[in-house]
């Protein structure tokens, strides 16, 4: 499967899912006491937040292209 085969709404769903993972990790990070858990949780939260941002941007661009082409 090629990422360019995904529709705009699928990119937005990926962004929403990644954002949910980021928020969940942030909630865990708030309560974690162990530095190893905090570091790993911070890494996962940062990666999923970046993935959410990029996916939403790609989804919005593809949405505009879809609307403009119609």
For the stretch 5-36, pLDDT in tens is 899 999 999 999 999 999 999 999 888 888 88
Q: Residue 31: what pLDDT?
A: 86
Average pLDDT, the chain: 92
| pLDDT at residue 70 in the model | 64
Task: Give me the residue spans of the domains in the chain.
Answer: 9-65
Question: Which H helix or E strand runs over 6?
Answer: none
Total-model pTM: 0.86
> Burial, 68: exposed, middle or buried (Cβ in 10 Å; 0-12, 13-18, 19+)?
exposed
Look at residue 2 and tell me whether its pLDDT is greater than 90: no
CA distance 17 to 20: 5
Q: Which of 45, 57, 43 is nearest to 18 (CA)?
A: 45
């Amino acid at each position: 499967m090629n990422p360019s085969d995904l529709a705009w709404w699928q990119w937005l769903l990926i962004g929403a899912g990644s954002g949910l993972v980021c928020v969940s990790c942030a909630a865990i990070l708030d309560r974690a006491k162990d530095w190893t858990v905090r570091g790993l949780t911070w890494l996962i939260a940062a990666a999923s937040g970046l993935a959410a941002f990029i996916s939403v941007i790609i989804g919005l661009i593809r949405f505009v292209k879809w609307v403009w082409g119609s």
